[in-house]
Amino acid sequence: MQDRHTFSREAMAAIFQITLVERDPVYARQAAAAALAELEQVENRLSRFVETSDVFRINRLAGGQTTTVHLDTLECLQIALAVQKATDGAFDVAYASAARPDHGPIIDAPIIELIEPGCTVRVLADGVRLDLGAIGKGFALDRMATLLRQWDIASALLCASTSTVLALDPPPGESGWPIHVGGDQSPRRLCLAHQAISASGVAVRGAHIVDPRTGRPAEGKFRVWAVAPTATEADALSTAFMVMTDSEAGNLCRRHPQISAYVLHAPAAELVTIAEATTRGNRPA
């Protein structure tokens, strides 16, 4: 019989937790330690607060300057820009840039260029300020999952506090890892396998999510959930869904049938299903 083992570490202003299914507790601890070490490396590359990070160095560049970054950083930025395009600017890791005082979406006026040969980032204007806080936790979970697979750990659940969760193979004999969405009035149980779910809302930090397209705080939603094939995508999309209308979010999900979206418009409201995934795979691009 295989047992469940849980390990945790604080990083990226969240508590990361790994629950894995493994017969040997010593091997489980070693695999989890490797995944948590990977988490630390990702934070050191993506955090804008770490002075040696790639993002910190990018944010100090003047227009036209370049810097070499780790492949992780380049890939995270590539996904961020793909989600930026898919959401018509509702998600924007460069929102705080001084180079964009009109809050115009980056798809209309790009201010960074990603150069794959040599893993290079070029800044196209002065005052670029990247913030990967709305995508970095998900990216870290995906990298941790990759490490666990390399250790032949197939069944696991990875969490970044309660905001982003990544489910790998379900425990033996079960259809998936149980996750609940919705408020007290309309809880709903989902069973996830090979999927991620991320939540964004105003309950903990208030109206902190700003619509990059308008510069105004998100309105009309208490909490949203996005389900996607990867934690990186789910993390970014839950932020975007907070500022998108239900119609905009539904249209995105119809274009990308591997994405699900749920919303609570008020704490005591009924859970609204905007769209549910009909397939898996493919990235929103």
> For residue 208, is pLDDT > 50?
yes
Average pLDDT, integer, range 182-207: 86
Task: Considering only residues 147 and 105, tell me which one the structure prediction assigns the higher pLDDT.
Answer: 147
Neighbours of 167 (CB within 10 A): 24
Query: How do residues 93-140 score in pLDDT, each as one tens digit?
Result: 999 887 555 544 444 568 899 999 999 999 999 999 999 999 999 999
pTM exceeds 0.75 for this model: yes
pLDDT at 252: 98
> For residue 4, is pLDDT > 70?
yes
Q: How far is 157 from 8, CA to CA, in rounded Å?
A: 12
Average pLDDT, integer, range 63-88: 97
Sheet hosting strand 223-228, strand order edge to edge: 3-11, 14-22, 156-160, 164-167, 195-201, 223-228, 260-264, 272-275
The structure tokens 């609940």 sit at 180
* pLDDT band for position 285 (cuts 50, 70, 90): very low
pLDDT at 108: 54
pLDDT at 69: 98
Rounded to 5 degrees, φ, ψ at 137 are -65, -45
Largest separation between any pair of C-alpha atoms in the chain: 59
* pLDDT band for position 20 (cuts 50, 70, 90): very high
Query: How do residues 38-70 score in pLDDT, each as one tens digit?
Result: 999 999 999 999 999 999 999 999 999 999 999
pLDDT at 96: 87
Identify the sign of the CA torsion 216, 95, 47, 83.
positive
Residue-range domains of the chain with CATH: 54-123 (no CATH), 138-275 (3.10.520.10)
Task: Considering only residues 143 and 108, tell me which one the structure prediction assigns the higher pLDDT.
Answer: 143
Q: How far is 66 from 258, CA to CA, in rounded Å?
A: 35
